[in-house]
Amino acid sequence: MDYICRTNVPPDSKMYKYVVTVTPPPRITQVTLIAISHLKIIREKMVNLEKCGFSDDEVLQLFGRSPLVLMLSVDKVQRNMTFDLSMMKLPAKVVLDRPFLLFYNLEAVLKPRVLLEEKLQDMDLVPQIKGPLMLRALRMTDKRFVGAFVGCHQEDFANELMEYYTNAKGVGRLAESSKKHLHKGFPF
């Protein structure tokens, strides 16, 4: 109950039902999102975000604004935060305002678009993907992103950029192929 209160989501807010309740199947009473998670797991996820420089209250307010962050694995949050802080050079507070940075796939969305930004800077082409425009570019669909930052150039530059972008999207996680999948199908 303390965690729910510290999210600072008022009970009359539209987000309150997402923080506190999960829509159950018929004939089952409502259960709280935080109550269905073990306190150990919640604390683990909080500590993971605190390593990036957030306080307890900031993490709980993040859970209040975007409760689905609780559903992300510790590994995914850690990898995305490391990328946001090191490669994108964003301050940690940006993630509090824009939690979508934690949800996007690192290999398919974040990394290829940042690498394309660096390639555009190296080739000294305009438009550049810098600052607030980068955050907007990350939220674009793939088709719109390619049209805005690749398709707007001359054909030879556009072909080179498109080839670079598709190659960047094709690079998977290191050692992903040797990863052992213990569960196939339903996780039980």
CATH code, 41: 1.25.70.10
Confidence band for 186, pLDDT divided at 50, 70 and 90: low
Tell me, yes or no, whether 27 and 99 share the same domain. yes
Please state, rounded to an integer, the average pLDDT across all residues of the chain: 76
Confidence band for 31, pLDDT divided at 50, 70 and 90: very low
**What local confidence, expressed as pLDDT, does residue 23 receive?**
39
Stronger pLDDT, 63 or 181, i.e. the higher one: 63
Q: 120-134 pLDDT, tens per residue?
A: 888 887 777 777 788
**What local confidence, expressed as pLDDT, does residue 170 receive?**
74
Q: 34-87 pLDDT, tens per residue?
A: 444 567 888 888 888 888 888 888 888 888 788 788 888 889 999 999 888 888
CA distance 90 to 99: 13
CA distance 167 to 153: 19
Total domains present in the chain = 2
The alpha helices in the chain, defined as continuous H runs, are 2-6, 16-20, 33-36, 39-50, 56-65, 74-86, 93-97, 100-103, 111-123, 132-139, 142-149, 155-170
Domain with 132 in it = 106-170
**What local confidence, expressed as pLDDT, does residue 172 receive?**
56
| Secondary element (H or E) of residue 30 | none
Which of 47, 76, 103 delimits the end of a domain? 103
Q: pTM, whole model, 2 decimals? A: 0.68
CA distance 7 to 158: 46
Tell me, yes or no, whether 35 and 96 share the same domain. yes
Read off the pLDDT of each residue in 5-21 and give the average, rounded to a whole number. Answer: 64
SS3 assignment, position 22: strand
Tell me, yes or no, whether 98 and 146 share the same domain. no
Confidence band for 30, pLDDT divided at 50, 70 and 90: very low
